[in-house]
């Protein structure tokens, strides 16, 4: 059909099995033939559904797809797969049951009395949320939906059902096709999507059924962690880091991690592993699918949505590599000496008064549970933040025991250390944000107790990249979406001990002049050039 007609030389020269073998010239030279001619039956066997369910291309016109006998199969790369939660049609509903009695009082007099009763309903069928509740034109998920078993069709409220798994539903893929241009037939990069195929599903199952040949991050989650509890990860059966990934993405990351660790020299290995940890979060099931393409990861959280977008690990990794190469090149060019240390800011191993400037972006109190939210990439690195000394304020009902005074004490210890290592007369900047005035006050107090003077506070509007002076202390109440920069000054040390004999400056000068004049004749005798010392322009020597 159209440019893809197998009889076209451009198509035939790409086919492994061209329709005619007689004197077909090769337009592509020795390039490997990767396309394949399939029958409609073969295509439907691979898809697992009729070709009429494929999304129609905009250049298909009024073509009757069901009548197309020959199909060109072009190799494509899955860019992402949408996965959907699956619910079991099984739960309880409240019904009203007649008691057989009739009311005799009030406005209900004469009406039969009913009682509410909880009864079990459902056929046990597995309901794929994507099929049952998602509006394909706007991506909205309905709060109520009907069981997809035609014999059942029970109407459920989503929150009354239990999840029983997650399955792939849509494949979004890219391929190099062809297009007709003024210059003739040319390759064309295409991106499209369709319902996931039987072939893809069986591949996913095949991967899931085998043991992974590489090391996997199997570090257990903290089941008492605020994020774990808030996002009901127990109900999703999340036991350790591996459970945040689809099996295929977990394997792909594990393979990259394995090879990155083996790179030589160590510098390259570190950069390669940096690229893997950089993508370790977006490759999880925390990547939210959104119809408008604005899905993604909610940082500082451990939330797994009902509809997720399983990203292509290879594509993501290779997109990070140029950044790593650019950093390496810049480092080589400037021969920059960078010292990176991991540890507590309360125990900085640097000499007193040795640092020119400090910039710090400290934990913001109760906004983010950093150590818990970092569990996934810390598992890959097998290096974990110590929870005991984490500067954080637990919110009520979050299960933790840290309160504002614990946070303030840790922050003050860190600011105190910062003050000591800074040179006198130098500056430090703290970037901070918290909507709670009490947390802001705690930071200000900790800063002052450490010895700093707060020179000013600026609003950092990250969207517009502008600074604005904060109006007084109460101005911090409305800075939720903007960070505040505290500019701090370490006062220059005032010398308090002076030798007594230094006091009379006039006497010292007179004594120096006297000594000069007394010794001058002798020095002129020794070296006549010293006569110059008597010239008028030497009078201030």
Min separation Cβ 79 and Zn ion, Å: 34
Q: Kindly tell me which of 29 and 150 has the beta carbon lying closer to Zn ion.
A: 150
- Classify residue 457 as exposed, middle or buried by CB count within 10 Å of its CB (0-12, 13-18, 19+): buried
The β-bridge partners of 186 are 179
Task: DSSP letter for 135, please.
Answer: -
Euclidean distance between the first and final Cα of the chain, in Å? 99
Peptide bond into 265 cis (omega under 30): yes
Q: Kindly tell me which of 123 and 263 has the beta carbon lying closer to Zn ion.
A: 123
Min separation Cβ 205 and Zn ion, Å: 24
Q: Kindly tell me which of 123 and 185 has the beta carbon lying closer to Zn ion.
A: 123
Q: Kindly tell me which of 51 and 123 has the beta carbon lying closer to Zn ion.
A: 123
Q: Kindly tell me which of 2 and 143 has the beta carbon lying closer to Zn ion.
A: 143
Q: Kindly tell me which of 71 and 145 has the beta carbon lying closer to Zn ion.
A: 145
Q: Kindly tell me which of 86 and 479 has the beta carbon lying closer to Zn ion.
A: 86
Whole-Å CA distances, 462 to 178, 437, 439, 481, 531: 43, 21, 21, 9, 69
Whole-Å CA distances, 12 to 4, 33, 129, 318: 9, 9, 42, 32
Q: Kindly tell me which of 152 and 404 has the beta carbon lying closer to Zn ion.
A: 152
Min separation Cβ 136 and Zn ion, Å: 22
- Classify residue 168 as exposed, middle or buried by CB count within 10 Å of its CB (0-12, 13-18, 19+): buried
Min separation Cβ 143 and Zn ion, Å: 17
Footprint of Zn ion (CB under 5 A): 89, 123, 125, 147, 149, 152, 154
Min separation Cβ 152 and Zn ion, Å: 3
Do the Cβ atoms of 410 and 306 come closer than 8 Å? no
Q: Widest CA span of the chain, in angstroms?
A: 138
Q: Kindly tell me which of 146 and 277 has the beta carbon lying closer to Zn ion.
A: 146
Tell me how crowded residue 257 is: count the other CB atoms within 10 A of its CB: 20
Min separation Cβ 164 and Zn ion, Å: 13
The string of DSSP letters for 64-117 reads -GGG--EEEE--EEEEEEEEEEEEES-EEEEEEEEEEEE--SGGGTTSEEEEEE
Q: Kindly tell me which of 123 and 520 has the beta carbon lying closer to Zn ion.
A: 123
Q: Is 408 left (phi over 0), alpha (psi -120 to 50) or beta?
A: alpha
Whole-Å CA distances, 426 to 66, 117, 467, 501: 77, 73, 21, 32
Do the Cβ atoms of 96 and 115 come closer than 8 Å? yes
Do the Cβ atoms of 179 and 188 come closer than 8 Å? yes
Q: Kindly tell me which of 149 and 374 has the beta carbon lying closer to Zn ion.
A: 149
Tell me how crowded residue 21 is: count the other CB atoms within 10 A of its CB: 8
Task: DSSP letter for 284, please.
Answer: S
Min separation Cβ 84 and Zn ion, Å: 17
Helix (H, G, I), strand (E, B) or coil at 486: strand
Q: Kindly tell me which of 125 and 230 has the beta carbon lying closer to Zn ion.
A: 125
Min separation Cβ 239 and Zn ion, Å: 29
Min separation Cβ 93 and Zn ion, Å: 12
Min separation Cβ 128 and Zn ion, Å: 12
Min separation Cβ 125 and Zn ion, Å: 4
Task: DSSP letter for 134, please.
Answer: B
d(CA 430, CA 181): 57
Q: Kindly tell me which of 109 and 151 has the beta carbon lying closer to Zn ion.
A: 151
Min separation Cβ 147 and Zn ion, Å: 3
Task: DSSP letter for 462, please.
Answer: T
d(CA 193, CA 191): 7
The β-bridge partners of 488 are 428, 454
Q: Kindly tell me which of 156 and 380 has the beta carbon lying closer to Zn ion.
A: 156
Task: DSSP letter for 367, please.
Answer: S
The sign one gets for the Cα dihedral 314, 317, 319, 322 is negative
d(CA 455, CA 444): 12
Min separation Cβ 124 and Zn ion, Å: 7
Do the Cβ atoms of 427 and 356 come closer than 8 Å? no
Do the Cβ atoms of 54 and 280 come closer than 8 Å? no
Min separation Cβ 279 and Zn ion, Å: 39
């Amino acid at each position: 059909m159209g440019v893809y007609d197998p009889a076209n030389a451009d198509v035939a020269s790409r086919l492994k099995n061209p329709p005619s073998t007689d004197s077909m010239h090769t337009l592509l030279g020795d390039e490997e033939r990767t396309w394949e001619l399939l029958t409609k039956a073969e295509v439907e066997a691979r898809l697992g559904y009729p070709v009429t369910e494929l999304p129609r291309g905009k250049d298909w016109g009024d073509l009757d797809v069901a009548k197309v006998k020959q199909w060109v199969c072009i190799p494509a790369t899955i860019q992402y797969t949408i996965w959907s939660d699956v619910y079991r049609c099984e739960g309880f509903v409240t019904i009203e049951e007649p008691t057989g009695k009739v009311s005799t009082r009030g406005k209900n007099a004469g009406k039969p009395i009913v009682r509410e009763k909880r009864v079990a309903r459902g056929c046990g069928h597995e309901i794929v949320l994507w099929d049952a509740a998602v509006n394909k034109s706007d991506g909205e998920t309905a709060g109520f939906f009907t069981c997809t078993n035609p014999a059942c069709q029970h109407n459920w409220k989503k929150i009354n059902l239990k999840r029983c798994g997650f399955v792939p539903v849509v494949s979004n893929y890219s391929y190099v096709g062809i297009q007709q241009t003024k210059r003739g037939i040319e390759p064309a990069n295409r991106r499209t999507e369709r319902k996931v195929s039987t072939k893809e599903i069986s591949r996913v199952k095949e991967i899931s059924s085998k043991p992974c040949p590489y090391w996997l991050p199997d570090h257990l989650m903290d089941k008492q962690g605020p994020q774990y509890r808030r996002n009901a990860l127990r109900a999703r059966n999340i036991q350790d880091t591996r459970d945040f990934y689809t099996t295929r993405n977990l394997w792909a990351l594990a393979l990259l991690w394995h090879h990155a660790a083996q790179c030589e020299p160590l510098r390259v290995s570190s950069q390669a592993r940096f690229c893997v940890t950089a993508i370790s979060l977006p490759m999880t099931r925390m990547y939210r699918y959104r119809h408008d393409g604005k899905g993604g990861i909610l940082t500082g959280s451990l939330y797994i949505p009902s509809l997720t977008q399983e990203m292509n690990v290879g594509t993501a990794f290779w997109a990070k590599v140029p950044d790593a190469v650019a950093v390496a090149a810049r480092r080589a060019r400037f021969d920059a000496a960078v010292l990176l240390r991991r540890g507590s800011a309360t125990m900085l191993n640097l000499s007193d008064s040795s640092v020119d400037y400090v910039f710090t972006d400290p934990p913001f109190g109760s906004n983010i549970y950093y150590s818990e939210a970092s569990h996934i990439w810390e598992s890959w690195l097998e290096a974990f933040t110590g929870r005991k000394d984490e500067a954080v304020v637990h919110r009520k009902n979050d299960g933790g025991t840290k309160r504002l005074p614990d946070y303030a004490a840790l922050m003050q210890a860190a600011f105190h250390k910062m003050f000591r290592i800074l040179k006198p007369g130098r500056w430090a900047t703290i970037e901070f944000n918290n909507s709670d005035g009490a947390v802001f006050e705690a930071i200000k107090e900790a800063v002052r107790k450490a010895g700093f003077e707060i020179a000013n506070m600026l609003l950092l509007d990250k969207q517009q990249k502008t600074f604005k002076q904060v109006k007084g202390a109460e101005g911090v109440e409305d800075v939720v979406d903007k960070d505040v920069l505290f500019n701090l000054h370490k006062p220059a040390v005032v010398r308090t001990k002076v030798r007594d004999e230094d006091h009379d400056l006039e006497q010292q000068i007179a004594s120096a002049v006297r000594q000069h004049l007394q010794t001058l004749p002798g020095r002129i005798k020794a070296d006549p050039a010293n006569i110059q010392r008597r010239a008028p322009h030497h009078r201030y020597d």
